[in-house]
Amino acid sequence: MTKPEFPSSAVAADIAPRAKASAYPEPFASRMIGREKRALGDLFGLAKFGVNLTRLAPGAVSALRHAHAVQDEFVYILEGRPTLRTDAGARALAPGMCAGFRAGTGDAHHLVNATDAPVVYLEVGDRTPGDSATYPDDDLVARGTSTGWAFSHRDGTPY
């Protein structure tokens, strides 16, 4: 018998949302208003990947449109009808649909809730070290560090 330090199961919606709404510097952090993340994987002490239950109020977005160099991403829509925006354009998603964003393609993505109803989805991302993210629509570059993301302007100036 092992002594569990973490719960083995939970009602996802009962988990408290993350206190800090966004790690972005301003003016980008304010654009994440209406986005709420519940860190499901962290609750169980998972280290290799994160899983969030994320809720977008009407008008909210999942993130700035971005592409990861090293870390894969995956989303599964539970509720609502978000718009997936990538380099290829916009696509309407619905409950039971999923999307995957392979690292290193350079194709930037995010979800936009352009409806009047909430959007709820699961998002998964691995935690492979040495990641970076690019933002084609914004003057922002992110570099993964051991303590989180370091953000700079495209010219290298830190925020």
What amino acid is encoded at 71 in this protein? Q
- For its own copies, the closer CB: 58 or 106: 106
Q: Which one, of 72, 88, 27, 80, lies nearest residue 54 by Cα?
A: 80
How large is the greatest C-alpha to C-alpha distance in the chain, in angstroms? Answer: 54
Return the residues of window 111-150 that contact its own copies according to CB under 8 A. Answer: 122, 124, 126, 128
**Near its own copies by CB under 8 A: residue from 23, 30, 33, 45:** 45
- How far apart are alpha carbons 19 and 83 in whole angstroms? 26
Residue 16 touches its own copies, criterion: CB under 8 A:
no
Q: How far are the Cα atoms of 9, 116, 137, 158 from residue 17, in angstroms, in the given order?
A: 17, 22, 28, 28
Asked if residues 50 and 125 have their Cβ atoms less than 8 Å apart, the reply is yes
- For its own copies, the closer CB: 10 or 33: 10
State in angstroms the smallest separation of the CB of 47 from its own copies: 6
Residue ranges that bind its own copies, judged by CB under 8 A: 1-2, 4, 6, 8-13, 40-41, 43-49, 51, 71-72, 74, 76, 84, 86-88, 91, 93, 96-103, 105-107, 109, 122, 124, 126, 128
